[in-house]
């Protein structure tokens, strides 16, 4: 991979990079297609990163490298990079990262171990692939913000591109974990998006000051409509800084993490606050 990238860069080719955990779906395909439009060469990585999973979740994560390779190629990928765990984490590997301050105000900070694992592997992959641009879905806004901050802080020469969440016909955010849901669990999971839309509608009417009541209403709605959805946490924050909304926030992020049948799902929706201010 290092030799290939060096040769491509030497010949003046731009490289678009889509890092994945595998189990590719239409959400990944949208990232690959966008990367193909904006770069000469597209690299897709498949690596199930042990550092960002609990033990059982790591062992149960769906794996189908042959299928992923076919899907990536069909979407326009030029190179599939599937390193072994030993290549990424050789014996004696012990590097750590410290999360930036933007993470500390959130309830989701209890997942700091997960995001540390994400940043470690993303930094390693960036150093190996040396991409011009890297593409991430905005379904995990915390991950996107943390990666962007890491790149800015370390002056890494890669542009981070965020792409909208891709949804199925049932409006469920596409995720590799959806494959693990039963029919009944999928039906229950639909309530997550309905709750997000409820909060967004409330805030459209009353602005950022209604964030607290919108959050409470969203939680109440989930509890009433979908008792099978076990809420982990929900929060409304500034979409850029991940801090509580304040007077100059330009965009609000409404985020939910929940367990359905023991599978952890996340989803979010965004609201342009500037547009509302202009209307008033």
> pLDDT by residue (tens digit) across 26-63?
889 999 999 999 999 999 999 999 999 999 889 988 89
Mean pLDDT, the chain, whole residue set: 90
What distance in Å separates the CA atoms of residue 88 and residue 82, rounded to the nearest whole number? 10
Identify whether the C-beta of residue 218 lies closer than 8 Å to the C-beta of residue 194. Answer: no
- Over residues 76-100, the pLDDT tens digits come to 999 999 999 999 999 999 999 888 7
Identify whether the C-beta of residue 15 lies closer than 8 Å to the C-beta of residue 40. Answer: yes
Residue 268 in this model has a pLDDT that exceeds 90: yes
C-alpha to C-alpha distances, 252 to 140, 149, 205, 214, nearest whole angstrom: 14, 18, 14, 12
Stretch 6-11: mean pLDDT, rounded? 96
Strands 41-46 and 159-163, how do they pair? unpaired
Residue 75 in this model has a pLDDT that exceeds 90: yes
Confidence class of residue 107 from pLDDT cuts 50, 70 and 90? low
What distance in Å separates the CA atoms of residue 218 and residue 195, rounded to the nearest whole number? 5
**So which residues are the catalytic ones?**
28
Stretch 261-279: mean pLDDT, rounded? 79
User: Quick one: pLDDT at residue 44?
Assistant: 98
User: Quick one: pLDDT at residue 194?
Assistant: 94
Residue ranges of domains in the chain, CATH in brackets: 2-163 (3.40.50.620), 176-273 (3.30.1300.10)
> Would you give the DSSP letter of residue 165?
P
Alpha helices in 76-140 (DSSP H): 85-88, 112-129
Strands 251-260 and 79-81, how do they pair? unpaired
User: Quick one: pLDDT at residue 105?
Assistant: 57
Beta-carbon contacts of 29 under 8 Å, excluding residues fewer than 6 positions away, are: 71, 75
User: Quick one: pLDDT at residue 269?
Assistant: 93
> Given the structure tokens 């993470």, which residue do they identify?
103
Indicate the range of 82-91, 140-149, 205-214, 222-231 predicted with least confidence: 205-214
Whole-structure pTM value: 0.85
Confidence class of residue 103 from pLDDT cuts 50, 70 and 90? low
């Amino acid at each position: 991979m290092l030799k290939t990238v060096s040769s491509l860069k030497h010949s003046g080719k731009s490289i678009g990079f889509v890092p994945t955990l595998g189990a590719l779906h239409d959400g990944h395909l949208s990232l690959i297609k966008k990367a193909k439009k904006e770069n000469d060469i597209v690299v897709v990585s498949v690596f199930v990163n042990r550092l960002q999973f609990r033990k059982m979740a790591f062992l149960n994560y769906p794996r189908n490298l042959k299928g992923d390779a076919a899907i990536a190629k069909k979407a326009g990928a030029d190179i599939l990079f599937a390193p072994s765990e030993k290549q990424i984490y050789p014996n004696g590997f012990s590097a750590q990262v410290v999360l930036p301050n933007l993470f500390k105000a959130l309830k989701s900070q209890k997942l700091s171990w997960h995001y540390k694992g994400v940043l470690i592997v993303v930094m390693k992959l960036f150093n190996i692939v040396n991409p011009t641009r890297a593409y991430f879905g905005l379904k995990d806004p915390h991950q996107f913000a943390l990666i962007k901050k890491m790149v800015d802080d370390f002056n890494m020469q890669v542009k981070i591109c965020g792409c909208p969440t891709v949804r199925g016909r049932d409006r469920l955010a596409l995720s590799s974990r959806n494959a693990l849901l039963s029919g009944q669990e999928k039906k229950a999971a639909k309530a997550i998006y309905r709750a997000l839309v409820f909060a967004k509608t409330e805030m459209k009417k009353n602005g950022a000051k209604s964030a607290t009541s919108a959050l409470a209403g969203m939680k109440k709605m989930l509890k009433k409509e979908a008792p099978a959805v076990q809420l982990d946490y929900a929060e409304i924050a500034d979409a850029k800084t991940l801090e509580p909304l304040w007077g100059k926030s330009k965009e609000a992020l409404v985020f939910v993490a929940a367990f359905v049948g023991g599978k952890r799902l996340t989803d979010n929706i965004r609201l342009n606050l500037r547009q509302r201010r202009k209307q008033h």
